[in-house]
A and B are shown apart, each in its own frame.
Chain A
Amino acid sequence: MVIIKVKRDTYGGLRYLKNALNYLEDGEKSLFTGGFGVVTTPLEDTFAQMVAVRKYFGKLSGNPLMHFIISFDDKVVTLDHANILAEQLTLFFRNEYQVLWSVHFLQRGCSNFHVHIIINSVSYINGKMYHSSASEITRFKDYAACVLNSDVRWFFA
């Protein structure tokens, strides 16, 4: 069983975005970090590039990000495998949103690896905000189930 935890901040603004990016790139926990439409290091540049997109569309305020935490099941036992799956999962968002992702290791129950995916909630295509409704999250959940070939559950954190 794969678990997806979904975090969407509604109060912290851009400060929350910076803190979330910081957490992803935590040197102690992060085994691999990837980016689409942004650099992965240094963090200041990743943040600046996401802010640049928001500024272009006049959306510096509002929900700054969507943060998905996907805990792989015990079928994923190597970092290489986790990396490949992480990249495939981010494909769901890349047509519209800048993405930063990071694979972390944490032995918890049957899970060895989990991936954090942060998306800039403002689309770089047209400036629309990501619609974090249950139906929209379920679309991602269904996609993840195909990629991971596993049962997937999700919940808002």
Chain B
Amino acid sequence: MARDKSEQKTVNTSLRLTAEQKTEFEKRAKAMGIKISSYIVNAAWNSNELDPKTKVKMQNILNFTENIVKEYAPEQLPELKSKRAELWSL
């Protein structure tokens, strides 16, 4: 399925970096399995947001917690669920 036009990357620009910055960004991009350009764009575009990898980790912890709360303190579930919504808005 073709990507929507609004998500197609059709413009480019160049960046000036220090050698150290380039080396570091390349290292981080490689660790994630993506190109340096994707790494920089993702980081800058989402600079005010928690990354999905962290949210997924925290959601899994919440899922585990929810099972315990369900069993031992079910009256607290609504509050736990509202905290969950907060996480995904970070």
Interface residues of A (CB under 8 A from B): 9-11, 13, 35-40, 45, 48-49, 52-53, 56-63, 98, 124-128
Assuming the contacts A124-B56, A126-B33, asked whether A58 and B45 have C-beta atoms less than 8 A apart, the reply is: yes
Q: Which residues of B, 50-71, contact A by the 8 Å Cβ criterion?
A: 51-53, 55-56, 59-60, 62-63, 66
Q: Kindly identify which residue among A35, A57, A59, A60 contacts B63, using a CB–CB cutoff of 8 Å.
A: A35
- In Å, the complex CA distance between A48 and B81 comes to 14
In whole Å, how far is A124's beta carbon from the nearest beta carbon of chain B?
4
A/B interface sample: 12 pairs, CB < 8 A: A10-B1, A39-B59, A39-B62, A49-B88, A52-B88, A53-B52, A57-B52, A59-B7, A98-B56, A125-B32, A126-B38, A128-B34
- Nearest CB in chain B to that of A48: its residue: B88
In whole Å, how far is A101's beta carbon from the nearest beta carbon of chain B?
13
Assuming the contacts A60-B4, A125-B33, A126-B33, asked whether A49 and B59 have C-beta atoms less than 8 A apart, the reply is: yes
In whole Å, how far is A25's beta carbon from the nearest beta carbon of chain B?
15
The prevalent SS among residues of B at the interface is helix
B49 sits at the interface (CB 8 A): yes
- Nearest CB in chain A to that of B58: its residue: A37
B16 sits at the interface (CB 8 A): no
In whole Å, how far is A156's beta carbon from the nearest beta carbon of chain B?
15
In whole Å, how far is B29's beta carbon from the nearest beta carbon of chain A?
9
B42 sits at the interface (CB 8 A): yes
Could you tell me if A62 and B1 are in contact, using CB atoms closer than 8 angstroms?
yes
Task: List 5 tightest A-B contacts by C-beta distance, closest first.
Answer: A61-B4, A37-B56, A124-B52, A10-B1, A126-B32
Contacts of B66 in A (CB 8 A): 39
- Nearest CB in chain B to that of A63: its residue: B1
Contacts of B55 in A (CB 8 A): 37, 49, 52-53, 124
- Over the window 1-25 of chain B, the binary record of Cβ atoms lying under 8 Å from chain A Cβ atoms (1 yes, 0 no) is 1111011000000000000000000
In whole Å, how far is A73's beta carbon from the nearest beta carbon of chain B?
30
- Nearest CB in chain B to that of A53: its residue: B52
- In Å, the complex CA distance between A83 and B60 comes to 18
Contacts of A98 in B (CB 8 A): 56
